[in-house]
Amino acid sequence: MNFCEGCNRVCSGERCPQCGRKKLRAVEEDDFCLIGRVERAFGDGLKEQLAREHIDCVLLPYGTGVRANFALPLESYLLYVRYRDTEFVQTLLKGNG
């Protein structure tokens, strides 16, 4: 599997499907990889659940600029976890989605 350092995405091809970048490297177990977008309320609980499982995660606020202009919390997060944990987290998300 390959890793795009620009998008933090794992892909099987020689080019990142998100940004088109050709300079990819082999993914490493500790790389933080984008899993997807989760709703804010779900993401807050998910972070606590993953912490109980000893899984590091990063939730970056994501949403429309209008909410940011009014200093309102954005409606969702982009979820990143280490590559070694991606399969477990994806299975967990499918069970809750």
pLDDT digits (tens, 9 = 90+) for 64-81: 766 666 667 778 999 999
Query: Are residues 26 and 58 both part of a single domain?
Result: no
What is the C-alpha separation between 43 and 80, in angstroms, rounded?
A: 11
Q: How confident is the model at residue 36 (pLDDT cuts 50, 70, 90)?
A: very high
Most confident of 21-25, 67-71, 74-78, 92-96: 21-25
Instruction: Give residue 53's pLDDT.
Output: 94
Query: Are residues 50 and 93 both part of a single domain?
Result: yes
Decide if 35 contacts 55 (C-beta within 8 A).
no
Query: Are residues 73 and 85 both part of a single domain?
Result: yes
Query: Are residues 75 and 40 both part of a single domain?
Result: yes
Tokens of 10: 């794992």
Rounded average pLDDT over 45-56: 95
Name the domain count of the chain.
2
Domain ranges, residue 13: 1-30
Query: Are residues 92 and 49 both part of a single domain?
Result: yes
Instruction: Give residue 73's pLDDT.
Output: 76
Query: Are residues 25 and 38 both part of a single domain?
Result: no
